[in-house]
């Protein structure tokens, strides 16, 4: 038998008990149970594009299987794929990134695992915006570091600023993790803002790590890469969002040259290599045929945002900053409730519309916010708005 804690829980590691689950997963499980019972549930809770992987990428994956490309690759990834990613930086950002600086990883999560393992010692921490993507702080806990959560709001577009860095930096700080576009808010940092943050962090001897996983999914503008203003930054990216390869689990990390040998050593030990089949498939992402599909899908997401944003505002949801990227709306629901989790449960149970409570994204006013993902076609979004309007009329505060 396993040893037990005093509260009769198995005596597993402290870090395991201190890493919180995704609250949205229990909500998803309930939504799926409702569907199995015959109800039509509209899913606005999961941060996953509704589009399947583009046909050119699927064909490339099938060809890789047929050709027997099923063995380990080098820990840093296929040279051809690293060259293709470098070409993407050249064509989209006018940056000359040495492919040797690029490590292909098992999803963006693999890139975060490498960066946090390299840069954070036990007891040290990064500054993170609150609200933000919850796995970021959990990865830091996994490596025995921590997250200094900085409350942010619409006044700073839910982003860190040099002033906030100065206010919250302390002797345990070693860097900051930024996200542009951000999850759950969809806000974007300009090149000038990234430059000022870089200067603020470097003045304190800190590392700058930027999550650019939603690059490509911006509307009416293109997001600046931090590498355009700070060549020493660490950049996390992924084939999941813009490239639509969520289930293939493939991402990448761009690092300063001096960091690459250490990161390669970590990759060899932590996961050996990313999926060889996924890497061969991803080569097709940079073909003109695939890029045209991705751009069509970006336009579809823009149209969905432009429908859902004013529709929710008209119902009384407060969305004080228009998201410029990703596919989320982070809405203040304090006009209706001070318990976002119960609010979400109400709409799931009564109207069969699923969206995510703010509790999944941090602590700052979390009970007064929800996130809705516009990862459904506009007719489904229209139906969701009608159901939400009906559910508001039956809501008991």
- Please report the pLDDT score of residue 19 as a whole number: 86
Distances from the Cα of 215 to the Cα of 4, 359, 373, angstroms: 46, 25, 17
Task: Quick: pLDDT tens for 32-41.
Answer: 999 999 999 9
Residue ranges per structural domain of the chain: 18-52+290-394, 56-287
For the record, the structure tokens of 253 come out as 């990390």
For the record, the structure tokens of 55 come out as 């046909």
- Please report the pLDDT score of residue 1 as a whole number: 44
Q: Rounded distance, CA 242 to CA 215, Å?
A: 7
The CATH number assigned to the domain with range 18-52+290-394 reads 3.90.1150.10
Q: Rounded distance, CA 304 to CA 132, Å?
A: 22
**Nearest to 372, CA basis, from 353, 356, 383:** 356
Burial of 312-328, coded b for 16+ CB within 10 Å and e otherwise, reads beeeebebebbbbbbbb
Model pTM? 0.94
CATH architecture of 56-287: 3-Layer(aba) Sandwich (3.40)
> pLDDT (tens digit, 0 to 9) for every residue of the chain, 397 residues total?
455 555 666 789 999 988 888 778 888 899 999 999 999 999 999 888 999 999 999 999 999 999 999 999 999 999 999 999 999 999 999 999 999 999 999 999 999 999 999 999 999 999 999 999 999 999 999 999 999 999 999 999 999 999 999 999 999 999 999 999 999 999 999 999 999 999 999 999 999 999 999 999 999 999 999 999 999 999 999 999 999 999 999 999 999 999 999 999 999 999 999 999 999 999 999 999 999 999 999 999 999 999 999 999 999 999 999 999 999 999 999 999 999 999 999 999 999 999 999 999 999 999 999 999 999 999 999 999 999 999 999 886 5
Burial of 154-166, coded b for 16+ CB within 10 Å and e otherwise, reads eebbbbbbeebbe
């Amino acid at each position: 038998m396993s040893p037990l804690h005093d509260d009769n829980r198995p005596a597993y590691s402290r870090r395991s008990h201190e890493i919180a689950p995704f609250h949205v997963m229990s909500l998803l499980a309930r939504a799926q149970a409702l569907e199995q019972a015959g109800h039509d549930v509209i899913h606005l809770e999961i941060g996953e594009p509704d589009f399947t992987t583009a046909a050119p990428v699927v064909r490339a994956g099938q060809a890789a299987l047929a050709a027997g490309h099923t063995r380990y690759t080098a820990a840093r990834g296929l040279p051809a794929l690293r060259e293709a990613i470098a070409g993407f930086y050249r064509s989209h950002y006018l940056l000359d990134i040495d492919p040797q600086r690029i490590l292909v990883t098992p999803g963006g999560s693999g890139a975060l695992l490498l960066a946090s393992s390299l840069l954070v010692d036990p007891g040290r921490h990064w500054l993170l915006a609150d609200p933000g993507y919850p796995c970021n702080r959990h990865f830091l806990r996994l490596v025995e570091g921590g997250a200094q959560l900085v409350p942010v709001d619409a006044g700073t577009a839910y982003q860190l600023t040099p002033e906030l860095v100065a206010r919250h930096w302390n002797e345990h700080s070693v860097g900051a993790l930024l996200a542009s576009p951000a999850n759950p808010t969809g806000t974007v940092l300009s090149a000038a803002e990234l430059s000022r943050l870089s200067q603020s962090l470097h003045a304190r001897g800190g590392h700058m790590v930027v999550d650019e996983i939603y690059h490509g999914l911006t509307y009416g503008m293109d997001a600046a890469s931090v590498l355009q203003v700070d060549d020493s930054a660490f950049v996390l990216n992924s084939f999941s969002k813009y490239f639509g390869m969520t289930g293939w689990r493939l991402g990448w990390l761009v690092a300063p040259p001096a960091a690459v040998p250490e990161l390669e050593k970590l990759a060899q030990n932590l996961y050996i290599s990313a999926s060889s089949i996924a890497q061969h498939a991803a080569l097709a992402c940079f073909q003109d045929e695939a890029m045209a599909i991705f751009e069509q899908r970006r336009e579809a997401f823009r149209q969905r945002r432009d429908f859902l944003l004013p529709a929710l505002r008209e119902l009384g949801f407060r969305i004080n900053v228009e998201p410029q990227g990703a596919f989320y709306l982070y809405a203040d629901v304090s006009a209706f409730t001070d318990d976002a989790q119960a609010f979400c449960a109400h709409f799931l149970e009564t109207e069969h519309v699923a969206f995510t409570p703010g509790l999944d994204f941090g602590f700052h006013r979390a009970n007064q916010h929800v996130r809705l993902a516009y990862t459904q076609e506009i007719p489904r979004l229209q139906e969701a708005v009608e159901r939400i309007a009906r559910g508001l009329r039956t809501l008991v505060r």
